Amino acid sequence: MPHPGTPIALPLRAWFAVEVFFGVSAVLSIGIDPANTRTNFAWNVQPVVMAAVLGAYYIASALLFLLPLFARRWEMIRVMILPTAFFSTAELITTVLHWSKFSIGTVQFTGWFLSYLLPPPIFIGYYLWQERRARQLTSAVPTEPLPPDVRSALLHWGGLLAILTIFFFIFPQALIASAPWQMTPLTARAFDSWLLAVAALMLSMAHENDRTRVLLGTPMLILIFPVVTIQIARYADQVHFANVALFVFYGITLVAFALGIYLARGDWRRALR
C-alpha cells in the first residue's frame, strides 16, 4: 500500500535531474581535476588545494541531489530544499560581487552561473507550493522524533556554524587571515557558501525532527570529512598544517561526520518509497 505523504511534483523531480547534471560537471572538472581550473572551470582557482577542497564539497553533495530522483514523497526530500536554496543564493551573490574574476563567455561560466541563478526561485517556489499541498492532505506522515540530545547538537552546531559563515561571508578578510592555505575574497566566499550549506542542512534536520525524514541529508554530512581529507592530502605541500583554523575546520567536519553516521541508521526503504 502507498505510504502517507505528498507526491513530488514532476517538474521538481525533473529539476533534480538538471541538478545532477550540474553536479556531475563540477565533480568531473574541479573535483577530479582541480589543477586545471583555468580551462575546465568557471574561473582559475588558486592555489590548487583550494580548488581541490571546493571540489570535495561537490563530491560530498552528489547524493544529496541523486537520491531525491528515487524518492516518492515530498516529506522525505524537504530537508535539503531550503539549504540548497540558501547555498545557491550565497554562490550567486559571490558571483555578482566578483564578476570580473570569472571566465565570462565560456561554457564553464555559463553552466556555473545558471546553476546558481535558477535554483533559488525554483526551490523556494516549489517549497511553498509543496507545503501548501501537504497541508491539504488528510493522511499525515508518521513521526519518529530524533533523540533530544541529537536534535540539540544539530541546533547548536548548525546555529554556531551559520553565525560564523554569515560573518565570514560579510568579512572575507577575516577568513583569509586565518586560513590554512592561501585564499582570495572570491575563494573565501565560495568556500564559505559550502559551510553555510552544511549549517543550513543541520538546522533543517533539527527542524524536521524525524529519523526518516532526515535520512536523505545524511550522506553529505558523512562524506565531507573523508573526501576533504583525501583532497587535502593530494596537495599537502600547499597546506599549513600547524594552522589552528585547520583544526577548527576538521573539528566541525568530524561533528558533522558523527551526526551523519548516527542519523543514517534509519529505514532507507521507508524514506525512498
Phi, then psi, of 138 in degrees rounded to 5: -90, -20
Strand, helix or coil for residue 228: helix
Buried b or exposed e, range 179-214, using 16+ CB within 10 angstroms: bbbebebbbbbbbbbbbbbbbbbbbbbbbbbbbbbb
Res. 27: pLDDT tops 90: yes
The span from the CA of 87 to the CA of 89, in Å, is 5
Rounded (5°) CA angle 58-62-63: 150
CA distances from 30 to 33, 50, 184, 230 (A): 5, 10, 17, 14
> Are 254 and 225 a contacting pair, CB within 8 Å?
yes
The span from the CA of 73 to the CA of 8, in Å, is 5
> Are 79 and 201 a contacting pair, CB within 8 Å?
yes
DSSP state string for 1-50: -PPSS-BPPHHHHHHHHHHHHHHHHHIIIIIT-GGGHHHHSSS--SSHHH
Q: Per the structure block, which three cell numbers stand in for 144? A: 519518529
Angle between helix 107-117 and helix 81-97 axes, rounded to 10 deg: 130
The pLDDT of residue 140: 62
Percentage helix, strand, coil for the chain under 3-state DSSP, each rounded to 5: 75, 0, 25
Kindly report, residue by residue over 44-76, the tens digit of the pLDDT: 999 999 999 999 999 999 999 899 999 999 999
**Residue in the structure block whose three cell numbers are 525532527:** 209
The pLDDT of residue 134: 85
The span from the CA of 1 to the CA of 165, in Å, is 44
The pLDDT of residue 135: 83
State the burial class of residue 244 (Cβ atoms within 10 Å of its Cβ: 0-12, 13-18, 19+): exposed
Kindly report, residue by residue over 140-174, the tens digit of the pLDDT: 666 799 999 999 999 999 999 999 999 999 999 99
Q: Which residue has the higher pLDDT, 29 or 139?
A: 29
Kindly report, residue by residue over 212-243, the tens digit of the pLDDT: 999 999 999 999 999 999 999 999 999 999 99
The span from the CA of 204 to the CA of 85, in Å, is 12
